[in-house]
Structure 1
Amino acid sequence: MTRLQVGLMDMVLAGRPGVDSLTRANYLAAVANRVDSFWIPDHINSLFPTALWQPKYAGAARIVPTADAYLEPWTMLGHLAARNRIGRLKLGVSVTDTGRRNPAVTAQAAATVHLLTKGRAILGIGTGEREANEPYGVPWDRPVARFEEAMATIRALWNSGGELVNRDSEFFPLRNAVFDLPSYRGRWPEIWIAAHGPRMLRAAGRYADGLFPAFPHSPQEYAQRLDVVRCAASDAGRDPMAITPAMWMIVVTGRTAGEVDDALDSELIRAGGLLASDERYARHGAQHPLGEGFAGAQDILPQAWDEQTALSYIKGVPPGLLREMMLCGTPDEVLEQAAVWRDHGVRHLVVVNGSLLQRNFGKGIASMVPFTKVLRSLRRL
């Protein structure tokens, strides 16, 4: 069986003492632990309630003043590539969206990083979430249709060979458009698509080099969705087995079961349960605190909640839901859970240390020891 590849994600938040200190430390940790890829998100604001980003709820607030201070991802990847000459990690965005960014600009940014890194860029892309679009005047209607047109636009520009491109599109028409950046040795950045629903999965089959979902679902559902992607790829005349089956997951770990339980009881980590859909809540015999039919991470808008409102919502998160959404437990338990995902098709697992969001700052920092053990051991699965 092919070795499981491992990626590390950094939250790319402006911290202390330097704005990039935490990201640089994580990058160096990725190199030291010999992971395969390093990822940063594309957000303007957080998916977590801003009102709860206080030291009494999240110890990390002592060194990260705000959870909404996201650094711009393509600028940051270029900075990392220029400043860090050690390591040959693939560098990816997890993920950019096709509403807030014009696809021609995304095509240019990804191709630039690919050239600067000598072929190590990965364009993670999806529809995005309401929180990064609607508050900034970007329409959130028909996100999948917009995504499909964006993907067709990016491919058309990359494949144009510098010739003028004309393409009719409801969202992104091209009129004598020029794209003359070269590929790196004949290869464009890999495109990994954050696909979840049926239409997005079919689009992944047509356009993706990697399937890269994140929203909560089971290993069995992942295997079923991967089959849909591969069938769509085959129908489009593409090699279905050339698509990398990847997955993004939060890890909450500790040295003992008690430490893990304490972390999962922390307000910010419990708030992560609000990113699941009401359908997922129903499987736990509960209704989503944000109402029947709530779609989860794609529709959450938590910035305007006050502290008491946010606390009232997280009280309705079933404990079992958190364990279902994340890789939780001691390092050995996390590895057992990761092996199940591997057995259902995942070949590249990208993880982030969610334990750092717990209430106790000291325990959050101490979680780096078991998390590092997880990171090193995943490569041996």
Structure 2
Amino acid sequence: MNGFRTGLMDGALHVRFAPDLLLRTTRQIAAAGGADSMWIPDHLNGVFPSSIWNPKYLGVAKLAPRADAIYEPWTTLGYIAAQNRITRLRLGVGVTDAGRRNPAVTAQAAATLHHLSRGRTILGIGPGEREGNEPYGVDWAKPVARFDEAIATIRALWDSGGAPVTRESQFFPLHDAVFDIPPHKGGWPEIWVAAHGPRMLGIAGRYADAWFPSYPQQPKQYSQKLAVIRSAAEGAGRDPLAITPAVLFFVLTASSSAQVDEMVGSTTARAFALSASAEVWARHGVEHPMGPTFSGIQDLLPQTIDEHTALSYVERVPPSLVRETCLAGTPSEILDQLSEWRDHGVRYAVIANISPVHPKLRIGLGSSLSLVQLLRGMRRL
């Protein structure tokens, strides 16, 4: 084995005809591609503006007509775990929210799934995004400080051995709190931290079993941030090389370059670029429509963008920006791109296939074969 592992993210969207249709398809693709893990996001709504989620712009809307009809992750993962005896995939939430979910509940959910999945659970966790917090009355102030306390709380409960825990915290104080689920065969779920900024990198170094940022960023930036995490781990008395360097990539793939170009130029793929920061947009000579300091996905509220506004934003997106926001190409072309990321430290890549943004449903769904080829090729990196 060369040590490079792969995972596949499912969108967890409700679809017509059968509520688990996409889940079953993703599990089958992951197994056929030799993936190590399957992942479910934790969102109350989607990252695409729902105003343009219709068959006029993307074919998959015929199958999944509601952009924001996203399943609850722990329930979904429990359902998958019950069907996972043959495929034996590891199951991850990618990633859950430290503000919207009380960390004691998250600790309980992850520990429960770890037992029921026979030790195959991964707890992906991050500070969350504005769209999943502020519209629902959750305080969005100090998300990083809240995250720091949440992950420390999870570790404290897991390490308590069932004894009452009292712990002062600005956000999650514990007063004789009991957590009595035991570890599974002496081990807890791995904690994968979605960290990007300097403070989050430091927290990942202190607590994480894996660093799990999302795309886009550049390979050189990745290796620089990985060095920061390893330095923080060493400062905390941890083995810096024990932290798995992972990343989440969104991909646009097909069997031909012409079909990939059609995906890149689609309305929905260009709208996805709104989740990139103003800094990323500036690299392509354009200003983010939400301003020159916009942070990207963490502060995006796609549900507030009407169709006319979304289309006006889309017109500003050059193809080069889409290709930085996603890995785009045929399987062999994407493998060449991934080789550079491997050379800058990545050892575990989770991919989320957004190829169904193609205007034609047949072509979008046909990306499944290319996805299997990509996964198989990634195992040889």
TM range (shorter): over 0.9
1:154 aligns with 154
CA offset at residue 252 of structure 1? 0.7
Task: Give a deviation string over 1:200-251, Cα, whole Å, max 9, x none.
Answer: 0000000000000004110110000111000000000011100010000011
Alignment check: 8 A CA contact 2:215 2:250 kept: no
Alignment check: 8 A CA contact 1:53 1:66 kept: yes
- Aligned partners of 2:65 and 2:259: how far apart in 1? 25
Query: Where do 1:210-221 residues align within 5 Å?
Result: 210-221=210-221
- Aligned partners of 2:155 and 2:135: how far apart in 1? 29
RMSD between aligned residues = 1.0
Counterpart secondary structure, 1:42: coil
Task: Give a deviation string over 1:328-378, Cα, whole Å, max 9, x none.
Answer: 111111000011111110101000111111211111122222222111111
Moved over 6 A (4+): none
Alignment check: 8 A CA contact 1:289 1:314 kept: no
- Aligned partners of 2:128 and 2:316: how far apart in 1? 25
- Aligned partners of 2:281 and 2:325: how far apart in 1? 11
Q: Is the counterpart of residue 95 in structure 1 residue 95 in structure 2? A: yes
Task: Give a deviation string over 1:45-89, Cα, whole Å, max 9, x none.
Answer: 011100011011110001112010111000111111113321111
Query: Where do 1:81-120 residues align within 5 Å?
Result: 81-120=81-120
Percent sequence identity is 57
Alignment check: 8 A CA contact 1:3 1:380 kept: no
Counterpart secondary structure, 1:28: helix
- Aligned partners of 1:158 and 1:278: how far apart in 2? 39
Counterpart secondary structure, 1:8: strand
1:340 aligns with 340
Q: Structure 1 stretch 37-46 or stretch 277-286: which is displaced more?
A: 277-286
Counterpart secondary structure, 1:107: helix
Identify unmatched segments of 5+ residues in structure 1: none
Query: Where do 1:150-299 residues align within 5 Å?
Result: 150-299=150-299
Alignment check: 8 A CA contact 2:41 2:95 kept: yes
- Aligned partners of 2:87 and 2:259: how far apart in 1? 33
1:352 aligns with 352
Query: Where do 1:33-48 residues align within 5 Å?
Result: 33-48=33-48
Counterpart secondary structure, 2:245: strand
- Aligned partners of 1:215 and 1:34: how far apart in 2? 22
- Aligned partners of 1:23 and 1:226: how far apart in 2? 32
Identify unmatched segments of 5+ residues in structure 2: none
Amino acid at match of 1:53: W
CA offset at residue 33 of structure 1? 2.1
1:20 aligns with 20
Q: Structure 1 stretch 92-101 or stretch 307-316: which is displaced more?
A: 307-316
Alignment check: 8 A CA contact 2:33 2:373 kept: no
- Aligned partners of 1:80 and 1:363: how far apart in 2? 27
1:7 aligns with 7
Counterpart secondary structure, 1:367: helix
TM-score by length of 2: 0.98
2:326 aligns with 326
- Aligned partners of 1:256 and 1:60: how far apart in 2? 19
Alignment check: 8 A CA contact 1:202 1:232 kept: yes
- Aligned partners of 1:159 and 1:379: how far apart in 2? 35
Task: Give a deviation string over 1:116-157, Cα, whole Å, max 9, x none.
Answer: 111100000000100000000001111000000001100000
- Aligned partners of 1:350 and 1:252: how far apart in 2? 14
1:315 aligns with 315
- Aligned partners of 1:261 and 1:69: how far apart in 2? 28
Alignment check: 8 A CA contact 1:211 1:246 kept: yes
Count of residue correspondences: 381
- Aligned partners of 1:84 and 1:236: how far apart in 2? 36
Task: Give a deviation string over 1:177-212, Cα, whole Å, max 9, x none.
Answer: 000001001100000000000000000000000000
Amino acid at match of 1:21: L
Alignment check: 8 A CA contact 1:216 1:324 kept: yes
TM-score by length of 1: 0.98
CA offset at residue 5 of structure 1? 0.3
- Aligned partners of 2:271 and 2:211: how far apart in 1? 26
Counterpart secondary structure, 2:328: strand
